[in-house]
Amino acid sequence: MQRRSFLKLGLMAAAGVAAGGGLYRVLHPAAPGRFTLDGEAHLVLAAIAPAMLGSALAATEPQRNADIASLVRGVQLAIAGLPLAQQQEVQDLFALLALAPARRLLVGIKGGWGEASAAQVAAFLQDWRLHRFATLQTAYLALHDLMLGAWYGDARHWAAIGYPGPLPELSPAP
């Protein structure tokens, strides 16, 4: 491929992602105030959870689904605790992951998140974790911190990492 063709293709792809992002914003206007995870964000989290949490998730399907639902609630609580500017950045990240052209070009997943294999999701996460662009590394770290923070912020999961819980308050000396 010639350099000129490569640059043209890159510009067309960037324009396509930008146009798709604008279309997503028009079709899914941001709610005033705080960000709330929508259905597509739930699918993203449900697809990423097994790759990030691995064997920490329950092995049986009903309990695994309950674990993922609990994780999604925890992520929502974590996002709600962020300043509004950071909530907007998280919303932009989930909008990017939900957008089909961006998902295909940046993530490498052709179908929807519900059809993504564990290997595809693990490969996407590894790619973003080690990517040469700091923006994608930051996006990976945001997903990582939100998910693991929500998971291990739940007292039910502390024993798995040997955390005994917060220390009891010391009583004042007499």
- Per residue in 15-54, pLDDT (tens digit) is 666 666 666 666 666 555 677 888 889 999 999 999 999 9
- Contact in structure between 21 and 99 (CB atoms under 8 Å): yes
- Per residue in 104-137, pLDDT (tens digit) is 988 999 888 999 998 999 999 999 999 999 999 9
What local confidence, expressed as pLDDT, does residue 172 receive? 60
Confidence band for 142, pLDDT divided at 50, 70 and 90: very high
Averaged over 85-114, what is the pLDDT?
90
What local confidence, expressed as pLDDT, does residue 38 receive? 85
What local confidence, expressed as pLDDT, does residue 135 receive? 93
pLDDT at 57 exceeding the cut of 80: yes
Q: What is the pTM of this model?
A: 0.75
DSSP classification of residue 103: I
- Contact in structure between 43 and 113 (CB atoms under 8 Å): yes
